[in-house]
Amino acid sequence: MAIGDVVFGGDHRPIISGPCSVEPGYVAHAEAAAAAGADVLRGCVFKPRSAPDRFQGIGAEGIPLLDEARVRTGLPIIAEPLDGDDVRLLRDHVDGFLIGARSMRNSRLLEAAGRAGIPVILKRSFAATYDEWLGAADYVRATGNDDVILCERGIRTFVTETRNTLDIAAVPVLAGRTDLPVIIDPSHAAGRREWVLPLALAGAAVGAAGIIVESHPVPDQSWTDSCQALSTPELRNLIEQVRRLTSLCELSST
């Protein structure tokens, strides 16, 4: 399956990157991610937040920034819809949907995203078993849309140092359970930028089909998730290291 012309589930393991949320300077942020080697852009204009007094995303007024970023970089873009209205608003401006961890259990949203007929990256809820996660994927697939990519982004455990505990075993375990590609989100698992690279490499080492990682040219100025955003040089370094490790793993398996 492909997001735009970027294939997931093949030899190339795509890197999806961009800031956590779209901000007024988004086009430059997207260009920086593209220059660092990202294959697909994050372009989240609607943000699910843990409390209503926090920035909820720039909203529909950010959609022209997605269009411009897509044209300027030539890269496909994904965004997160929070409800059926968002699906309709975003449908013609993105190449794929991201369903966030909080929304994994929203079956109506999964159906709406599936019916839109573009690929859906389905994040695992922080408290979902593999069966629950695959069941959520089935809601998308039941609409006739099999272009689903699973994303492990960390689960809740008794470990409090990291934001979530990356369940790296999801990649090999699900390889035996489903035909869907599994990608890794080291950013929301780590919660701190210094742990993002090692978790991304762990994902590459177990054979993840791709990585989604948050980046920002000036990480400390990110409007959301600034602690875990990588700078542009850090993103470039991560992409190079992931590529090197992936080719090593491929060599040793031949």
Residues near ligand PEP (CB under 6 A): 20, 44, 48, 100-102, 123, 153, 188
By CB under 5 A, the count of residues binding Mn ion is 2
Q: Which of residues 211-240 bind Mn ion (CB under 5 A)?
A: 225
Helix (H, G, I), strand (E, B) or coil at 81: coil
Q: Which residues pair with 214 in a beta bridge?
A: 18
Q: How far is the CB of 91 from ligand PEP (least distance, A)?
A: 19
Is residue 114 helix, strand or coil? helix
We find the least distance from the C-beta atom of residue 44 to ligand PEP, in angstroms, to be 6
Residue 63 interacts with Mn ion (CB under 5 A): yes or no: no
Q: Which two tokens stand for residue 101?
A: 């961890």
Interface map 15-44 toward Mn ion (x if CB under 5 A): -----x------------------------
Q: Which one, 46 or 118, has the nearer CB to ligand PEP? A: 46
The CB-of-253 to ligand PEP minimum distance in angstroms stands at 30
Looking at the Cβ atoms of 136 and 253, the one nearer to ligand PEP is 136
Q: In this structure, what token pair is assigned to residue 125?
A: 């809820």
CB of 48 to ligand PEP, least distance (A): 6
Instruction: Give the three-class secondary structure for 237.
Output: helix
Name the nearest CA neighbour of 78 among 64, 86, 90, 60. Answer: 90
How many degrees, rounded to 5, is the angle at CA 13 between CA 11 and CA 19? 165
Phi/psi zone of residue 98: left (φ > 0), alpha (ψ -120 to 50 degrees), beta? beta
- Residues of the shown chain interacting with Mn ion in the complex, contacts defined by CB under 5 A: 20, 225
